[in-house]
């Protein structure tokens, strides 16, 4: 069963000169309950704007000009601002690439997890919230969670800060977790640990995940379903297994050639594989 269905989403940016940048151009995909869908594509292909559209965090000069975002039968695009504020954090939570910009440097990590609980779980008292915060820190693998409650973000490593962001996002047990390049700033070992953690939390809670990355190696580790974006369009959609075993769209094939194959050395640069002179939109879409 699908948790969320994005249908014909269009998000455009309007310049003062009257130009229109169709950042997200008629995008449709579904996220099944408890599964991980990856959006993959190069920088500027519209991945983040798709995520921000689901959260309805698009600011001027951008605007959602069409489509539907159906979360359990209600169209999020029809909700009032007040209703949408409740959806954010409670039903849909988001984590970003750079945790230092989303964590507040002036508050302890415990306080910031507690804040999410105060906002969305008014039924919990102070002691219950404290226990839940410590449990959340423990769950994301922060050592000595009781002591770390009172720690400020700058005292933590990059990997630990990203774990805290995940703890904040998961504290309210969202139905959908959107993660926009959450591991891009981390080294490969820590990245693998954070991906494992997200998978483990998903197994325990049944949360659906929309995971955004430009890195097919990350897709390989975490995706159930894959959506390939190119210049605001979806060019290919398939299960992870199908996509890696039998990529159909020329753009997907080009992207796949840019990741190292086991036993084959060095990583090729993007320029060798994705050809800037090719208009990949001229090929038929491969939606499976
Ligand atoms: P990515 O796939 O790298 O996440 P984005 O979704 O951020 O790409 O961007 C998609 C397109 O939207 C790009 O062409 C980008 O220039 C444009 N865009 C993003 N944010 C803005 C903005 N605030 N104003 C104008 N254009 C924007
Ligand atoms: Mg982005």
Residue 197, token pair as written in the block: 């953690």
Distance CA 34, CA 206 (A): 5
Alpha carbon distances (Å) from 111 to 26, 125, 142, 162: 40, 14, 15, 16
Task: Determine the atom of ligand 1 nearest the C-alpha atom of 49.
Answer: 6
47 lines ligand 1 (CB under 6 A): yes
The Å distance, Cα 50 to ligand 1 centre, comes to 10
Which backbone phi and psi does 163 adopt, to 5 degrees?
Answer: -65, -40
The pTM is what? Answer: 0.92
Number of helical H runs and strand E runs in the chain: 12, 11
Chain-centroid distance, C-alpha 108: 25
Low-confidence ranges of the chain (pLDDT < 50): 268, 271
The Å distance, Cα 227 to ligand 2 centre, comes to 14
Pocket test for ligand 1, best of 19, 40, 44, 57 (most atoms within 8 A of CB): 44
The Å distance, Cα 123 to ligand 2 centre, comes to 36
Q: Are 32 and 13 in contact (CB under 8 A)?
A: no
Task: Determine the atom of ligand 1 nearest the C-alpha atom of 51.
Answer: 6
Q: Give the per-residue pLDDT at 271.
A: 45
pLDDT digits (tens, 9 = 90+) for 52-76: 999 999 999 999 999 999 999 999 9
Distance CA 182, CA 167 (A): 13
Residues with Cβ < 8 Å from 150, sequence gap 6 or more? Answer: 108, 110
The count of other CB atoms within 10 Å of the CB of residue 200 is 13
Residue 133, token pair as written in the block: 């915060």
The Å distance, Cα 22 to ligand 1 centre, comes to 9
184 lines ligand 1 (CB under 6 A): no
Pocket test for ligand 1, best of 19, 38, 47, 49 (most atoms within 8 A of CB): 49
Q: Give the per-residue pLDDT at 100.
A: 62
Distance CA 12, CA 67 (A): 12
Q: Give the per-residue pLDDT at 184.
A: 86
Task: Determine the atom of ligand 1 nearest the C-alpha atom of 232.
Answer: 10
Q: Give the per-residue pLDDT at 121.
A: 84
């Amino acid at each position: 069963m699908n948790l969320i269905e994005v249908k014909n989403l269009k998000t455009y940016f309007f310049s003062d000169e009257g130009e229109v940048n169709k950042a997200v151009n008629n995008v449709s995909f579904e996220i099944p309950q408890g599964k991980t869908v990856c959006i993959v594509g190069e920088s500027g292909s519209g991945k983040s704007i798709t995520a921000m559209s689901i959260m309805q965090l698009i600011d001027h000069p951008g605007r959602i000009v069409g489509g539907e975002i159906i979360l359990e039968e209600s169209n999020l695009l029809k909700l009032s601002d007040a209703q949408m504020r409740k959806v954010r954090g409670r039903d849909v939570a988001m984590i970003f690439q750079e945790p230092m910009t989303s964590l507040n440097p002036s508050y302890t990590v415990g306080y910031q997890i507690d804040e999410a609980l105060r906002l969305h779980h008014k039924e919990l008292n102070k002691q219950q919230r404290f226990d839940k915060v410590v449990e959340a820190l423990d769950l994301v693998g922060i050592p000595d969670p009781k002591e770390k409650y009172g720690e400020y973000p700058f005292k933590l490593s990059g990997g630990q800060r990203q774990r805290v962001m995940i703890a904040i996002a998961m504290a309210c047990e969202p139905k959908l977790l959107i993660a926009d390049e959450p591991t891009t700033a981390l080294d490969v070992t820590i990245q693998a640990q954070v991906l494992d953690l997200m998978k483990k939390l998903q197994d325990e809670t049944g949360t659906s995940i929309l995971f955004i990355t430009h890195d097919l190696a990350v897709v390989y580790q975490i995706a159930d379903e894959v959506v390939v974006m190119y210049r605001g369009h979806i060019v290919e959609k398939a299960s992870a297994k199908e996509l890696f075993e039998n990529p159909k769209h020329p753009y997907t094939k080009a992207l796949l050639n840019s990741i190292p194959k086991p036993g084959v050395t060095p990583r090729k640069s993007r320029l060798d594989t994705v050809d800037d002179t090719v208009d990949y939109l001229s090929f038929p879409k491969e939606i499976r």
